[in-house]
Amino acid sequence: MMAGVSRILIRRLSSSQSLPPSVRCCSRNFHFNINGKRDDAKVSNDISQYPVVDHHFDAVVVGAGGAGLRAAFGLSEAGFNTACVTKLFPTRSHTVAAQGGINAALGNMEADDWRWHFYDTVKGSDWLGDQDAIHYMTEQAPASVVELENFGMPFSRTEDGKIYQRAFGGQSLKFGKGGQAHRCCCVADRTGHSLLHTLYGRSLRFDTSYFVEYFALDLLMEDGECKGVIAFCMEDGSIHRFRSKNTVIATGGYGRTYFSCTSAHTSTGDGNAMVTRAGLPCQDLEFVQFHPTGIYGAGCLITEGCRGEGGILINSEGERFMERYAPNAKDLASRDVVSRSMTIEIREGRGCGPEKDHVYLQLHHLPPQQLAVRLPGISETAMIFAGVEVTKEPIPVLPTVHYNMGGVPTNYKGQVITHVGGEDKVVPGLYACGEAACASVHGANRLGANSLLDLVVFGRACALTIAETGTPGEKLSPLKPNAGEESVANLDKIRFAEGTIRTSEIRLNMQKTMQNHAAVFRTGDLLKEGCDKMDAIYQSMEDIKTFDRGIVWNTDLVESLELQNLMLNAVQTIHSAEARKESRGAHAREDYQDRMDELDYAKPLAGQEKKSFDQHWRKHTLSTVDIKTGKVTLGYRPVIDRSLDQEECSAIPPAIRSY
Amino acid sequence: MSLLRVCAFTSKRLNTQLLFVDLSFAGCLRTASGAAKDKEPLRKAKTPQGRFDMDDEKPKDPLQKFPDDVNPATKEQGGPRGPEPTRYGDWERKGRCVDF
């Protein structure tokens, strides 16, 4: 109704020139007319019958979560004409769910040094992280947190007014020898929410053009250089080509490839898929972090404190199965042992529920008073998310995905790289940051409170690199007039798809296959079977059926495009996992339980012969996909073991990781 | 403010639309407050939301705010309410673990 009124307004306003400019500006063409700045968008019929609008910008950022917003306003602040293309409103991005805190070696609670944070992160990554990127991140951490605080983020404070830092997992002092470090800065219990709102509010100060609810389809690549992005406006079905010299990918992770994940429905790995379709590799996709007790169906995680307070895990026979897997620790065993035990129980047919695909977490044998005092709010959580009365029924749980370490490979400056002839080569015009990128600071396993830090540091790094290497207002190189026609052809094909299998069925098949075959419990046979099943499911995408033929708010179309993206991520994940024959960090295999480095670091190094690059596994996986056949090709790239400045911060040589 | 004047000529159509919206909204309010007792109460499915609807009093937030928002044990100002979220090694809030 309001749209109808506004259209009348526009027609009347545009006809009457005597009205003041402020009134004329309030027209419905919100997307192409921000703050009165008329963007030289031209409509053409260059590719197919869909009208295409061409925009020219100095920089385009795809995604508006923590990393995307930081990059977008960093660029606007530097004077670049920036567009931010996002399929969600910025404050609805998944960053909002990160309630914890940010790590930074500010030294407010005790004497601290960023080199100790560097050591902790390198160790946490199981020596798969690139030490120059980790050096960059941990050194910039204090400055980044102070910058956020200057932007207005309301961190919690100590009595003296400094930022309060609390202890959180994996952080130590004096290179692991000085006890627990207090580095995690938080904003009450909603740090991610506050971060997102602070960054969004700050970005409105600069004139970034936001293109909200525009689904980015593909990168516009020409001669190995990225010249922009082609996107589809979900609101009115128009196609937009955003031409620019610098494109930043900040699209987040791809949790939705698994049946049980904490991610939003919109975490579909769009950036990874765009890069794959452009023929570039993705890095380390097999490293996916799991949490043992996520609520079945909802995907929310139940705290380990439930088991700490006496909760037990039971299978369909009512047996406390952890006694068999960890006779001493029982339910208090470490996360990976618990996750693996749960998966083995489910695989052996002792799962609960109609599909026997989860186990139960029982808390009703504990006194209700104790539960209410020690774990306040748990009865509310269990009722809302699982629909159970926690004092009477058990909660259905299963291992759940919550983070993807892998993504688009970049160097420490945020530039996307490929590996050609044994050397890292920068892809001109393309950058990536956030969970979508793999810098790689998290390596094989991410430490808690490091991911929010990763967002702000590398979002800023992308903006700084672009500002260093380019100037605002640079003339764009010419682009072929039919650039992006394959993307539009694909869109058209999906819009009018007449197969037999629905999108939701293919998606569920993929999610269940990934959950059964590429989850916590990984062995050669299981992964091989999973690879074959995933290849078949990839082929079944040819038979997809969509129902909505419209072009305005066609969610069937958008979900099918997202499914294409998820599928690319899923096949790369499972094939990379099948190929990696070792256990490292989050990738744990039953048949290869040890880490396989170039030297055996468990024994004295003197007299050992270094294994050749092909024989050890301390290397990054680079995966590419042939889009038509779904065949995954794997390559490898060495880990960067030097820090940025050996004198300032010496690199940490590999060692056995034990906590 | 000139915008308001411009909008005025379309307000007639707007008014009727708004009135209709207003009436239906008022209607919803009456049913929610329980004033329509003569009618059969709406049977909600046994969903978690349905169970909350039956209960008239608002459930108290299990996590109480600290006096002056200062945690008495750690002297943290503006920190998370309730027991320390990191006490079990992960970030716990109302039984849920948050990953970040």
The DSSP line for A250-278 is -----GGGSSSBSS-TT---HHHHHHHHT
Q: Which residues of A are annotated as a binding site for substrate?
A: 291, 303, 402, 446
Contact A97 B98 (CB under 8 A): yes
Query: Burial code of A4-37, b = ≥16 C-beta within 10 A, e = fewer?
Result: eebeebeeebeeeeeeeeeeeeebeeebbbbeee
**CA–CA separation, A646 vs A580, rounded Å?**
31
Residues of A in contact with B86 (CB under 8 A): 166-168, 184
- Give the pLDDT confidence score for residue B62 in this predicted structure: 77
Q: Which of residues 113-142 of A touch B (CB under 8 A)?
A: none
Please identify among residues 24-83 of chain A the ones whose CB lies closer than 8 Å to any CB of chain B. 26
How far is residue A345's CA from residue A275's CA, in Å, rounded to a whole number?
A: 38
- Look at residue A357 and give its three-state secondary structure: coil
Residue B59: per-residue pLDDT: 62
The CA distance from A145 to A140, in Å, is 9
The reply to whether A20 touches chain B by the CB within 8 Å rule is: yes
Q: A530 is written with which tokens?
A: 């999973």
Task: Collect all residues from B whose CB is shorter than 8 A from any CB in A.
Answer: 2-3, 6-7, 10, 13-14, 17, 47-48, 51, 59, 62-63, 74-100
Interface touch B99/A98, C-beta < 8 Å: yes
Q: A88: Cβ–Cβ under 8 A, 6 or more apart, which residues?
A: A64, A212, A213, A266
User: What's the full length of chain A, in residues?
Assistant: 659
> What's the gap in Å between the CA of B38 and the closest CA on chain A?
31
Sheet holding A619-626: strands in order across? A282-283, A619-626, A631-638
| Catalytic residue selected from A24, A166, A335, A350 | A335
CB contact under 8 Å between B76 and A158, yes or no, is: yes
CA A447, CA A34: separation in Å to the nearest integer?
40
CA distance A550 to A492: 11
Amino acid in the structure at residue A349: G
Residue among A1, A377, A448 minimizing CB distance to B95: A377
Between CA A197 and CA A91 the distance in angstroms is 6
Q: Test B100 with A383 for CB contact under 8 angstroms.
A: no
Q: What angle do CA A504, A505, A510 make, to 5 degrees?
A: 95
A154 in contact with B, Cβ within 8 Å: yes
Extract the annotated binding site of A for FAD: 63-68, 86-101, 270, 435, 451-452
Strands A101-103 and A180-186: antiparallel
Please give the pLDDT value at position B32. 54
Q: Give the ipTM.
A: 0.83
Inform me whether the C-beta atom of residue A199 falls under 8 Å from chain B C-beta atoms. Answer: no
Consecutive 10-residue averages of pLDDT for chain A (659 residues):
50 52 46 47 70 93 96 94 95 92 94 95 94 96 95 94 91 92 92 94 89 96 95 93 96 96 95 97 96 93 92 94 92 90 93 94 93 91 93 95 95 96 95 95 93 95 96 93 93 95 96 94 95 97 95 94 97 96 93 93 90 94 96 96 93 90
> Which chain B residue has its CA at the smallest distance from A446's CA?
B100
What residues contact residue A553 under an 8 Å CB cut-off, 6+ apart?
Answer: A234, A235
Using alpha carbons only, what angle is made at residue A644 by residues A641 and A649, rounded to the nearest 5 degrees? 85
Asked whether the beta carbons of A560 and A232 are under 8 A apart, the reply is no
Report the predicted TM-score, pTM, of the whole model to 2 decimal places: 0.86
* pLDDT at residue number A34: 41
The distance of A478 to chain B (nearest Cα, Å) reads 42
Is A335 designated active site? yes
Q: Starting from the edge strand earliest in sequence, which strands make up the sheet with A101-103, in order?
A: A101-103, A180-186, A165-172
Residue whose token pair is 């620019």: A244
Q: Which helix (H) or strand (E) segment is A457 a member of?
A: helix A451-469
Compare all CA atoms of chain B with the CA of A169 and give the residue at the minimum distance.
B89
The residues that bridge with A62 in the sheet, in sequence order, are: A85, A249
User: Which residue in A401, A455, A444 sits closest to A289, CA to CA?
Assistant: A401
Say whether A372 and B62 touch across the interface (CB within 8 A): yes
Distance CA A54, CA A42 (A): 5
State the smallest CA–CA distance between residue B95 and chain A in angstroms: 4
Q: Is A637 on the interface with B (CB under 8 A)?
A: no
**Tell me, what's the pLDDT at A166?**
93
pLDDT reported for residue A546: 96
d(CA A491, CA A556): 12
- Contact across the interface for B3 and A26, Cβ inside 8 Å: yes
Q: How confident is the model at residue B37 (pLDDT cuts 50, 70, 90)?
A: low
Q: Which of A88, A27, A20 is nearest to A250 (CA)?
A: A88
Q: Hey, are the CB atoms on A101 and B100 less than 8 Å from each other?
A: yes
Is A403 near chain B, with CB under 8 Å? yes
The closest CB to that of A376, out of B17, B63, B89, belongs to: B63
Residues in chain B within 8 Å Cβ distance of A13: 6
Do B80 and A1 make contact, defined as CB atoms within 8 angstroms?
no
* Tokens encoding A30: 């919100």
- For residues A590 and A523, give the distance between their C-alpha atoms in angstroms, rounded to a whole number: 5
Measure CB to CB from residue A380 to each of B14, B94, B98 and give the nearest one: B94
CA dihedral A180, A181, A182, A183 (to 10 degrees): -140
| Min Cα–Cα distance to chain B from A167, Å | 8
